[in-house]
Amino acid sequence: MTAWDHEFDVVVVGSGAAGLTAAIFAADGGARVAVLERSDKYGGSSAVSGGMIWVPLNHHMDEVGIPDSREEAMTYLNKVTMGQSDPDMLELYVKTMADVIRYLEARTPVRTESSPVYPDYHPEWPGGKTGGRSLDNKVFDTKVLGDEMPRLRRSPVFPPFTVREWEDWGLIQNFDFNLIGQRMQDGIATMGSALVGALLKGCLDRGVKLFPQTRLTGLTRNGTVEGVIAERDGRPLAFRARKGVILACGGFEWNKEMEREFLRGPEMAPASPPWNTGDGIIAGMEVGARIGLMNEAWWMPMVRVPGEELDGHMLFRLLLTERTFPGSIIVNRKGQRFVDEAYNYNDMVKAFHTFDPVAYEYPNIPAYLVFDEEFRQRYAVVTAMPGEPVPSWITSGETLADLAGKLGIDAAGLQETVAGFNQPARAGKDPEFHRGESYYETYYGDKTHPIHPCVAPVDKPPFYAVEVIAGCLGTKGGLKTNAHGQVLDLRSRPIEGLYACGNVTASIMGPGYAGAGATLGPGMCFGYLAARHAVSREA
């Protein structure tokens, strides 16, 4: 018999967008709800993300004049997921998520708008869209959170501008840094922290009880899952959950042991806060849960700026436009290109994990972004601004051979690669990897470049390089769930009283990435479905 320290109807573990959405719907279903958060800040991976939500058939698409249909969305999703996802779950997502967004916008401070130009990640595929499905969050004034305002996690890499503003500004020279600085002082949030802030306000308005610095250590089960054992200030706390426990505490990308056991490749550079150590997956497995998709992540190429940390752990920064703008390439230690650098981040990182069975190595690790002086004068490279002095963490060389020598890569290979790339690149072509041929790539490219938004020669010395690391936004594998968000056991039967949503689950997206917000969208959708089912259970 467990001695309970706290008793609620629903206990949500994790305070990202999935967990807070679940908490809101559970509270609106009449439940007394608690949210447990391991760190001292709310928001998890969602709060540091771009915050976009991928929602087929969303009501904002009408506002920007983009039609959508269930058939198009399903055709697209079936190809993206490569047959590794349950079509019924995909169908449920397509059918449900637009209503979830509509509800949240009507009943909470969540406010989004559709970007008419932000494309799906494979817009040319059947059913793909060149805009409309990814929703951007409008600015959110964190002061409305009152005493909880300092506990809202903010992104260390995205300053407070919206994706729509970024689309309008284009190159960094056009960014309104006065506006951004003022927003920082005024507590204005955008992107993922705006979404989490709005959801958090929704929770506060509903009397949801928040428990920061409270870490899940296990589940209590007596036939059904009855509650959560957590730890706060070194002391165990037992939370009874009369109607259900909803796990929403992220993936395992910061758990070195699980990373080694499940993920491919010799290293991991997560973009998330360093608290996603698989606690929810482990707790679920302890009560007999089935897991899936554990070899997948929401892959993202990353760069490390030495000396930067987040919550005491190494900070990694996303590599987005630098690999898309014209005048750069990515090469391996042989000095050879191995992928369309500008392709969507989830899929291009898989090329880093190519294995050479004869050499018995990953030939594309390490890899380097190589660019020239013209590129450096025109574009930002992570935190190095165009035309400003070159920081010490960027390697430079007067010649390609000089640069290769400093990087310890094959000089002749690099020279040959660049020569081969430059000739067609002068006409904006990349016959080898087809860089810049997708609408997605030109969206991220420099539309003002005289040759091509994504392709131009690398030929103006000096030359520069930074290491590109195969990283991720979070892991994708975890607990298997059904249409109600119920966690399944080894024989695919629901574990009564246990639900999960977000990166703690095996994603319905399979190995693919449909578009910006394909992480947050399903997380929030199954948070809603889990909450709806949980509140319907007998206490």
Partner 1 sequence: MPDVTHTLTINAPIVKVWSFVNNLRNWATLMPGYQDFTELDADNSVWKLKGDVGILQKLITLRAQVTGREEPSRVAFVLQGVDENLQGSGAFVASPAAGNTTDVKLSLSLKAGGLMGPMVNALLGNMVPSYMAALATGIKSRVEE
Q: Which residues bind partner 1 (CB under 8 A)?
A: 154-156, 159, 172-173, 175, 177-178, 180-182, 184-185, 306-310, 312, 315, 380, 385-386, 388-389, 391-393
Q: Tell me how crowded residue 453 is: count the other CB atoms within 10 A of its CB.
A: 20
Write down the least CB distance from residue 228 to partner 1, Å: 29
Contact 83, 227 (CB under 8 A): no
Q: Where are the beta strands (DSSP E) in 105-163?
A: 112-114, 134-137, 140-141
> Could you say which DSSP state residue 138 is in?
P
H or E element in which residue 472 lies: strand 463-475
Kind of pairing, strands 235-247 and 291-292? Answer: unpaired
Residue 181 or 266: the one with the smaller Cβ distance to partner 1 is 181
Residue 115 or 137: the one with the smaller Cβ distance to partner 1 is 137
Give the CA angle between residues 184, 188, 193 to the nearest 5°: 105
CA distance 208 to 35: 7
Q: Tell me how crowded residue 186 is: count the other CB atoms within 10 A of its CB.
A: 12
Tokens of 138: 């409008």
Write down the least CB distance from residue 304 to partner 1, Å: 12
Residue 32 or 378: the one with the smaller Cβ distance to partner 1 is 378
Write down the least CB distance from residue 313 to partner 1, Å: 10
CA distance 375 to 462: 10
Per the listing, tokens 């999703």 go with 77
H or E element in which residue 202 lies: helix 191-205
Residue 219 or 382: the one with the smaller Cβ distance to partner 1 is 382
Residue 222 or 377: the one with the smaller Cβ distance to partner 1 is 377
Residue 303 or 315: the one with the smaller Cβ distance to partner 1 is 315
Tokens of 148: 């909880």
Write down the least CB distance from residue 161 to partner 1, Å: 10
Write down the least CB distance from residue 215 to partner 1, Å: 22
Write down the least CB distance from residue 261 to partner 1, Å: 30
Write down the least CB distance from residue 378 to partner 1, Å: 12
CA distance 250 to 262: 16
Write down the least CB distance from residue 471 to partner 1, Å: 16
Q: How far is CA 536 from CA 26, 167, 242, in A?
A: 10, 43, 11
- Residue 99: which residues within 8 A CB-CB, separation 6 or more? none
CA distance 307 to 295: 30
Write down the least CB distance from residue 379 to partner 1, Å: 11
Q: How far is CA 523 from the centre of its chain?
A: 11
Residue 8 or 140: the one with the smaller Cβ distance to partner 1 is 140
- Residue 287: which residues within 8 A CB-CB, separation 6 or more? 219, 221, 225, 495, 498
Residue 317 or 337: the one with the smaller Cβ distance to partner 1 is 317
Contact 445, 340 (CB under 8 A): no
Write down the least CB distance from residue 277 to partner 1, Å: 20
Q: How far is CA 129 from the centre of its chain?
A: 20
Write down the least CB distance from residue 156 to partner 1, Å: 4
Write down the least CB distance from residue 393 to partner 1, Å: 7
Write down the least CB distance from residue 402 to partner 1, Å: 21
Dihedral, CA atoms, 388, 389, 392, 398, nearest 10 degrees? Answer: 110
Residue 133 or 153: the one with the smaller Cβ distance to partner 1 is 153
Tokens of 331: 């090469």
CA distance 266 to 255: 14
Note every long-range contact of 347-350, with CB atoms under 8 Å and residues 24 or more positions apart, other chains counting.
347/121, 347/299, 347/512, 347/513, 348/299, 348/301, 348/323, 349/299, 349/300, 349/301, 349/470, 349/471, 349/472, 350/299
Contact 355, 344 (CB under 8 A): no
Q: Which of 521, 529, 526, 501 is nearest to 58 (CA)?
A: 521
